[in-house]
Amino acid sequence: MSTTVPVTAQIPGAKKQTPEFVQLLDPDGKRLSDELYDPWVSDVTGDQLASLYEDLIIVRRIDTEATALQRQGELGLWPPLLGQEAAQVGSARTLRPDDFVFSSYRENAVAYCRGVKLPDLVRVWRGTAASGWDPFEVGMATPAVIIGAQTLHATGYAVGCKFDGVDSVSVAYFGDGATSEGDVNEAMVFAASFNAPVIFFCQNNQWAISEPVGLQAQRPIADRAPGFGIPSIRVDGNDVLAVMAATRSALDRARNGGGPTFIEAVTYRRGPHTTSDDPSRYVDPVVAKEWEAKDPIARVEAFLRSEGVLTDELAASIQARADEVAAEFRAGCLALKNPEPLSVFDNVYATEHSGLARQKSQYKAYLEGFEK
């Protein structure tokens, strides 16, 4: 049996809150039954799950390549997502093109699933642009670096969808640390007040940089939402199938006038906060090893092999495809042209400013000094 726990009776069939969560694939790849959430993924075929597996392999390969690029001096910084692939892919692949995503800086797998071009993932991290992509081309805003701010943006967008009479849904991605920010709590107040079609998708990866989640949350984070009048679901964030089921149920609720839902995807950040961080200073290696055994990719692979869907040939083909994407990603990154140095003064003020003009003149003279 699975451990299904929607936290509030506002969802039909909801059970009493416990520290457990919705799980359809256990860490060994065994399929678990769940009468409440099985219907939401009953149409997912073996081939479709294999496609999700391919997504997981590719986004991990992209992440590995980006980390390598940063270590080689080609990126200024990179926020790895190792271990969080299922939470991002499982939720993003449920969205329609007319839905809109508001994310933090770690949702690179979501961006990939939304169709963001590979070089656009690293423009900001390479310092060649102030923004990565056109949000309206892919239905995803560029990442918010201010922690939790995107939840307000998502709520405002959702209220607009409601006023426009469309059934599009906005999704805000954020981490456990963001739930301690005022912006997130304010966003939930407004979302509940306006019955906005928004999903608050919290990836509880157990760490707010170096602060463990237990220091800022004495109860499961999903417990907080009902206090705002928002139903919540706690799901195994390393189970791509369970994440898909939970997100589909929340999307259906939002599209049919049910308002916001809070999803807590329980996962683990297996890498550093960013490439400037050293997690060995604060992570217990025993705990890290335990989470490694719950790897989101390994459990899908085990299930697909047990079902006869994933053969050695298909697995090799998927890995080869991931390597091709990584090579394309690297080439696209290295092909990004550095901005013209004096362009740093562009778009600072709407009209000419004497102080800025003086600084620009001084910087120009400095640069010309290298040409002599």
Same domain, 22 and 144: yes
Same domain, 347 and 312: no
Annotated catalytic residue within 31, 71, 96, 282: 282
Domains held by the chain: number: 2
Q: What is the pLDDT of residues 156-172, one digit of tens each?
A: 999 999 999 999 999 99
Q: Are 145 and 105 in contact (CB under 8 A)?
A: yes
Catalytic-residue membership of 269: yes
Q: What is the pLDDT of residues 268-280, one digit of tens each?
A: 999 999 999 999 9
Tell me the pLDDT band of 352, cut-offs 50, 70 and 90: confident
Same domain, 18 and 51: yes
For the chain, how big is the Rg over CA atoms in Å? 22
Tell me the pLDDT band of 294, cut-offs 50, 70 and 90: very high
Same domain, 210 and 264: yes
Catalytic-residue membership of 153: no
Weakest-pLDDT range from 76-80, 188-192, 199-203, 367-371: 367-371
Please state the pTM of the whole predicted model: 0.91
The CATH number covering residue 32 comes to: 3.40.50.970
**Structural domain of 347:** 340-372
Annotated catalytic residue within 123, 273, 299, 330: 273
Give the span between the Cα atoms of 170 and 167, in whole angstroms: 10
Q: Residue 273 has what pLDDT?
A: 97
Q: What is the pLDDT of residues 5-49, one digit of tens each?
A: 333 323 444 333 344 899 999 999 999 999 999 999 999 999 999
Same domain, 239 and 359: no
Tell me the pLDDT band of 137, cut-offs 50, 70 and 90: very high
Whose CA is closest to 231, among 239, 241, 223?
223
Annotated catalytic residue within 253, 269, 270, 299: 269
